[in-house]
Structure 1
């Protein structure tokens, strides 16, 4: 089956459509597992929030966005992949296409990953907008250091987030993460916080000085592809994150949360599909 790209709810072959590129595009990356979109409502809400920041106040309804996305998912040859949604603010065109993805191998969850600190200030950390400058800087630094992820440090020497993830630290009994105003409001981040709280794990949002990382027992990055991925080291400082009971319990609880959400998506999308078929049937009577 030829790979499909969607523009404004119409499918095209990949070779027949040019996708917008450059800075300032509103976008989301949604993980699809067995043809179900993970944390779909949260992604829609954040997409709308960023669109409003860019002046788009009348973006499509949740039901229309769901129908469009599910149409795209079901048309793909793959059943599991990442889908990228882009809004070209100037023309208000919406594109959906498969986004290159890299899911961590099982061994990385068992050992953790190496990370490095990198000075960088996002101009608007709460908005999910394309930023080729940061992408290029990160790729160069990753090649130089061999780091799986770069953890950004702002001008005041506080840790903010990963270049493509959020970051959490632990003292062994609670989670500590940078405050929401200084980071992208990650969908996975928020679900991890609610899952931890449901497990009785305290979560604190507070400023984290870059030179304080050695005071923590462990850390992890979170995101669409990695979910909860333990950190083995930040620079030269080692952690035993992957062995900490608090993280092992949280990872298991979060996997259960994922399965619940995927089942919820299937129920909602099937319900909407049935509703749409009824409307079409009545219109043709």
Structure 2
């Protein structure tokens, strides 16, 4: 954690004021939801979208809260001003409570910046069978994601891509998935929103592609299709933007190379331009 202040229930506080008992089952059982935002060069990206998703996650999980519209955004801007950190990640945690409104916190973490080679060379991902509970909620129930991500990291992979019981790739443990048919420049695919957490980058990338005349179609991605060589894949997140997938691994053996495509290189360029325009009009 970085910075001298945090937010506790909408107010600036010291980190020492935030503590939990070992018998706090709401925390230890992961009864809550969270968001991760980014500040880069002093600019807080898409805070309204993150507030909207946090409150939607709370509703899905049945968590009562007293957060008014715009209150979270104002608190995050207050925290950014108080700590005066130019670039960082901002994490918001909302803890559900029995019989009263949720407690919520916001604090700063070091920025997550992928290595430059991830953009130039692409990354490798591990296919991992599992489905998140309440997939549309960004919940604190992180067991599946943690087990899958650690398995991927132990094998030297960038992320684990979750595979559901129908044999479809849904999402990464910390990324969304986009894919393109080779040779097709006017359509990009992504797994259906009903099966995944709708990332803020997913949402804004779809908007950016629409502005550039490219349709995004929600379409399941079967593992067999991903391994067929017919499609190029990319993963997206708040910190990484758009990164091509170079290799897919189903287990400890050799992986399958996924050839990069100009279609996904264009997707990344479109999104980078979208972020530049957002920064120019928001500062």
Q: Answer whether TM exceeds 0.5 for this pair.
A: yes
How many residues align? The count is: 264
Query: Structure 2 CA distance, aligned partners of 1:232 and 1:99?
Result: 29
Aligned-pair RMSD on alpha carbons? 2.1
Measure, in 2, the Cα distance between the counterparts of 1:194 and 1:149. 25
Deviates more, 1:137-146 or 1:160-169: 137-146
Summarize deviations over 1:26-66 as a string: whole Å, max 9, x none: 11111111222212221111111111223346642333222
Name the residue aligned to 1:188: 201
For the pair 1:220 / 2:234, whether they are aligned, the reply is: yes
Long gaps (5+) in structure 2 = 21-26, 250-254
Which has the higher relative contact order, 1 or 2, with Cα contacts under 8 A spaced 6 or more apart?
1
Q: In structure 1, what is the Cα distance between the partners aligned to 2:56 and 2:195? A: 16
- C-alpha separation in 1, matches of 2:141 and 2:124: 24
The aligned counterpart of 1:238 is 257
Contact 1:233/1:239, CA 8 A, preserved across alignment: yes
2:219 is the alignment partner of 1:200? no
Where do 4+ consecutive residues of structure 1 move more than 4 Å? 19-22, 56-59
> Residues 158, 264 of structure 1: CA spacing in aligned structure 2 closer, same or farther, 3 A cutoff?
same
Query: Which residue does 2:36 correspond to in 1?
Result: 29
Structure number having the greater helix percentage = 1
Secondary structure in structure 1 of the residue aligned to 2:19: coil
Q: Retained in 2: the 8 A contact 1:37–1:265?
A: no
Question: Is 77-86 or 132-141 further displaced after alignment?
Answer: 132-141
Structure 1 unmatched ranges of 5 or more: 267-285
SS of aligned partner of 1:248:
helix
Give TM-score, length-normalised by structure 2. 0.85
Q: 1:8 and 2:9 equivalent?
A: yes
TM-score normalized with structure 1 length = 0.85
